[in-house]
């Protein structure tokens, strides 16, 4: 956004340090912001908390009404290992669960598949069948917690398993609250976990949205995620723009399916990254809410206020953590979490200080959770709603990020929408370009990473890390083989055939999936049906 | 490089199911900008696929990137597959989320260079210049 020349600059007479004053996303910022930086209509654009366009927050009372949900992502080893970590977190005051699955589960392979070798239970929990899912939530009443599941191309299978576990616990589906990530477009853009190409992936997603709006009304069937886009190296503006563009695509697909906007839009949720640049992140979250509310109202004709509200989870930026002087990561996470809180998030994960080298240890997880509790209960920032609202710098940055995101949205519309843009490699290339530029800026010392390119000290790398034993893989392989051996083979085959028939006919996949997981068919077997019916997507390997 | 009459050829590969390709792409680009011939395999490669590509492309080195913790299984598997195809002299280096205690076993398995979080592209370019020579020359 170009700025008008002014006769009197408030500063500029004094000498400044000879650095470029720019955000972590490389956006140059002014030395000082004043009322002149907010063009006409600012009052309407800023508004009030809980009112359109929700710049100041989605609820009128924000954290005075209810604190954000402290939701630490956890998962490793077997279902029993992760179940123990869940109980540890709940015992220490965490208020919601968040499940990390291992790579084979995320990619649709059972533990005994050759491609799973070396990956079982390493960076998430291994779940191949309903037997694992039961163990994962053993002793946790599913109507007493809300659960987030970070899973995408196999999300339909894991949701079916969660529903089956609830049924076994006697919990009605209408009492289940939680979120499944299920955001496939950002997989092709950034996280790169997929089975089939974008179009059928989108169809499975919409099946889940349609099914949940009918049967699991408190569930969020998609979490539209910028987090991974940012981790892959995007700027803050790209993160925002690509996420909103993905959201637009899902809304269009659901409308095309015949759902009415206000029937599903209130259950759409979001997930953003919290990087180091404090004001940029606050502004990004505020711009996100305003942009989404405006698009939902003006482009899609949503009327229910709940359809207009962008409710979001956020996680501190994994990519900002350093292996060097790891204690410094506690400080980074604190600043990032504070940006999330002052940006008005509904749910938050704070990273652990040792995550650049391994899964977090119990002690590191505790510090991360305590960081949120200190911000919530000691810092006082929750006492006032949107305390940064009306700051000239924050509002001007919010305007600018929104405007730049709109430019990207227009470009994506020109390309024919996000699916076409992805097929053309457009967002992937934009992100790779930004990531390379940032790396060069670090190497040239233009951007500082404390302990990495400035303020280094000689140090030994820490030995005290959480290790996932290599023999775990063998145990998990035995377990899934036993399930396949001991189940009723005929029932399993018939259940899989019904999944295939639904995949081929276009009938909603969820009812046959719930039946299939009850019959103990596995993640890998169902993913194989998807591979056969829908085809396999391969990485175009753009540089 | 000039002596051999051709530029060094490096395969940059992502073994396993891990989709974190930010690092691999940055390294591939930095090596290319430094004058090497670079082939990027893309994601989700098996050790067999990587070794096959390295031999087919007549690579001098293979750079592996993995962030899912499967390096202890997959790095040695790539080296085994290279040997099986007569590519045992292709230099293998790699990086990712690799704890200190995994460095020695990876070296013992034949991984010649190991880069951990915070390594710069310049360090990696310099390492390749020093440690990789044209094969069979």
pLDDT in tens, A454-494: 999 998 877 667 777 778 999 999 999 999 999 999 999 99
* A84 and A203 part of one domain: yes
Q: What share of chain B is helix, strand, coil (3-state, %, to 5)?
A: 45, 20, 40
In a domain, A372, yes or no: yes
pLDDT in tens, A186-236: 999 999 999 999 999 999 999 999 999 999 999 999 999 999 999 999 999
CB A349 within 8 A of CB A271: no
H or E stretch including A321? none
Q: Burial of A469 by CB count in 10 Å (0-12 exposed, 13-18 middle, 19+ buried)?
A: exposed
Q: What does DSSP assign to residue B18?
A: -
Omega prior to A53 cis, within 30 of 0: yes
* Residues of chain B neighbouring A319 (CB-CB closer than 8 A): 22
Q: Among candidates A352, A535, A107, which has minimal Cα distance to B18?
A: A107
Superfamily of the domain at B2-130: Cobalamin-binding domain (3.40.50.280)
In a domain, A382, yes or no: yes
pLDDT at B2: 44
Half-sphere exposure of A116 (CA within 13 A, CB side): 29
Please tell me if residue A536 touches chain B, with a CB cutoff of 8 Å: no
pLDDT interval class at A73 (50, 70, 90): confident
In a domain, A522, yes or no: yes
Q: What share of chain A is helix, strand, coil (3-state, %, to 5)?
A: 50, 10, 40
**Is pLDDT at B8 greater than 50 in this prediction?**
yes
Smallest Cβ distance to A107: which of B17, B22, B29?
B17
Describe the strand order of the beta sheet including A347-349 as a list of residue ranges: A69-70, A347-349, A312-316, A268-274, A222-225
Please tell me if residue B29 touches chain A, with a CB cutoff of 8 Å: yes
* A90 and A217 part of one domain: yes
Please tell me if residue B104 touches chain A, with a CB cutoff of 8 Å: no
Using a CB cutoff of 8 Å and minimum separation of 24, what contacts does B133-137 make? B133/B4, B133/B60, B134/B1, B134/B4, B134/B6, B134/B8, B134/B60, B135/B58, B135/B60, B135/B89, B135/B90, B136/B89, B137/B3, B137/B4
In a domain, A345, yes or no: yes
**Is pLDDT at B137 greater than 80 in this prediction?**
no
* Residues of chain B neighbouring A322 (CB-CB closer than 8 A): 117-118
pLDDT at A94: 79
End-to-end CA distance of chain B: 11
* A185 and A292 part of one domain: yes
- Of residues A10 and A270, the one with the higher pLDDT is A270
Q: What does DSSP assign to residue A67?
A: P
**For chain A, what's the residue count?**
543
Q: Among candidates B55, B78, B80, which has minimal Cα distance to B65?
A: B78
* A394 and A299 part of one domain: yes
* Residues of chain B neighbouring A323 (CB-CB closer than 8 A): 116-118
Matching residue, tokens 């869940």:
A86
Cα A154 to Cα A195: distance, rounded to the nearest angstrom: 8
Average pLDDT of B64-88?
95
Average pLDDT of A14-32?
93
Phi and psi at residue B39, in whole multiples of 5°? -115, 125
In a domain, A459, yes or no: no
End of a domain among A422, A443, A464? A443
Distance from CA of B134 to the nearest CA of A (A): 24
pLDDT in tens, A37-67: 999 999 999 999 999 999 999 999 999 999 9
CB A387 within 8 A of CB A381: yes
pLDDT at A93: 83
pLDDT at A335: 98
Smallest Cβ distance to B100: which of A356, A461, A470?
A461
pLDDT at A536: 97
pLDDT at A398: 98
Lowest mean pLDDT: which of A2-6, B6-10, B29-33, B117-121? A2-6
Domain ranges of chain B: 2-130
In a domain, A541, yes or no: no
In a domain, A46, yes or no: yes
Q: What is the pTM of this model?
A: 0.95
pLDDT at A12: 53
Q: Which domain holds residue A489?
A: 485-534
ipTM summary value: 0.92
* A70 and A142 part of one domain: yes
Residues 6+ apart with CB under 8 A from A471: none
pLDDT at A10: 53
pLDDT at A96: 84
H or E stretch including A481? helix A472-486
**Is pLDDT at B3 greater than 60 in this prediction?**
no
* A523 and A377 part of one domain: no
Average pLDDT of B21-33?
96
Categorise residue A364: left if φ over 0, alpha if ψ from -120 to 50, beta otherwise.
alpha
Q: Burial of A458 by CB count in 10 Å (0-12 exposed, 13-18 middle, 19+ buried)?
A: exposed
CB A71 within 8 A of CB A148: yes
Describe the strand order of the beta sheet including A177-180 as a list of residue ranges: A73-74, A97-100, A146-150, A177-180, A219-220
């Amino acid at each position: 956004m170009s700025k008008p020349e002014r006769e009197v600059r408030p500063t500029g007479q004094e000498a400044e340090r000879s650095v470029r004053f720019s955000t972590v996303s490389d956006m140059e910022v002014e030395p000082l912001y004043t009322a002149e930086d907010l063009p006409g209509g600012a009052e309407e654009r800023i508004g009030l908390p809980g009112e359109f366009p929700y710049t100041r927050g989605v609820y009128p009372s924000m954290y005075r009404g209810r604190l954000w949900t402290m939701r630490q992502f956890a998962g490793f080893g077997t279902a029993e290992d992760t179940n123990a970590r869940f109980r540890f977190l709940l015992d220490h005051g965490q208020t919601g669960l968040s499940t990390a699955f291992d790579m084979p589960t995320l990619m649709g392979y059972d533990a005994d598949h050759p491609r799973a070798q070396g990956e079982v239970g390493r960076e998430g929990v291994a779940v191949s069948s309903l037997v694992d899912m039961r163990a994962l939530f053993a002793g946790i009443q599913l109507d007493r917690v809300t659960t987030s599941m970070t899973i995408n191309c196999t999300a339909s299978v894991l949701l079916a398993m969660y529903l089956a576990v609830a049924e076994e616990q006697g919990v009605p589906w209408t009492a289940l609250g939680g979120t499944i990530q299920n955001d496939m477009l950002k997989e092709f853009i950034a996280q790169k976990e997929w089975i089939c190409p974008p179009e059928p992936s989108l169809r499975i997603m919409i099946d889940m949205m349609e099914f949940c709006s009918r049967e699991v009304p408190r569930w969020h069937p998609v979490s539209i995620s910028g987090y991974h886009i940012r981790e892959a190296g995007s700027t803050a503006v790209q993160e925002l723009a690509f996420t909103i563009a993905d959201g637009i695509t899902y809304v269009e697909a659901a409308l095309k399916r015949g759902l009415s906007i206000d029937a599903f839009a209130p259950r759409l949720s979001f997930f953003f990254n919290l990087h180091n640049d404090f004001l940029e992140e606050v502004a990004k979250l505020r711009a996100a809410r305003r942009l989404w509310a405006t698009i939902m109202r003006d482009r899609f004709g949503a009327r229910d206020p709940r359809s207009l509200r962008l409710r979001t989870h956020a996680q501190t930026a994994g990519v900002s953590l350093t292996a060097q002087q790891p204690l410094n990561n506690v400080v980074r996470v604190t600043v990032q979490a504070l940006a999330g809180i002052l940006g008005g998030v509904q749910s938050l994960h704070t990273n652990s200080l040792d995550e650049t080298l391994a899964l977090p240890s119990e002690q590191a997880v505790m510090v991360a959770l305590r960081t949120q509790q200190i911000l919530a209960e000691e810092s006082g920032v929750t006492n006032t709603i949107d305390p940064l609202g009306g700051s000239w710098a924050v509002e001007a940055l919010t305007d600018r990020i929104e405007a730049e995101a709109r430019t990207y949205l227009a470009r994506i519309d020109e390309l024919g929408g996000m699916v076409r843009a992805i097929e053309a490699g457009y967002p992937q290339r934009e992100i790779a370009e930004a990531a390379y530029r940032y790396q060069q800026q670090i190497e040239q010392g233009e951007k500082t990473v404390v302990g990495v390119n400035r303020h280094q000290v000689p140090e030994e790398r820490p030995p005290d890390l959480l290790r996932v034993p290599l023999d775990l893989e063998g145990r998990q392989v035995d377990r899934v083989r036993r399930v396949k051996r001991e189940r009723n083979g005929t029932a399993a085959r018939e259940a899989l055939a019904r999944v295939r028939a639904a995949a081929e006919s276009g009938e909603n996949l969820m009812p046959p999936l719930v039946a299939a997981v009850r019959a103990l068919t596995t993640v890998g077997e169902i993913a194989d049906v998807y591979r056969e019916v829908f085809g396999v997507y391969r990485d175009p390997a753009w540089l | 490089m000039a002596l051999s009459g051709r530029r060094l050829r490096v395969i940059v590969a992502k073994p396993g199911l891990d989709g974190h390709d930010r690092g691999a792409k940055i390294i591939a680009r930095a090596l290319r900008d430094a004058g090497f011939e670079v082939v990027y395999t893309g994601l989700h490669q098996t050790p067999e696929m990587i070794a096959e590509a390295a031999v087919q492309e007549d690579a001098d080195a293979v750079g592996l990137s993995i962030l899912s913790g499967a390096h202890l299984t997959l790095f040695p598997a790539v080296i085994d597959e290279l040997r099986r195809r007569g590519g045992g002299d292709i230099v293998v280096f790699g990086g990712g989320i690799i704890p200190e205690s995994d460095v020695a076993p990876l070296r013992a398995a034949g991984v010649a260079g190991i880069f951990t979080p915070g390594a710069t592209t310049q360090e990696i370019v310099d390492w390749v210049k020093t440690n990789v020579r044209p094969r069979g020359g």
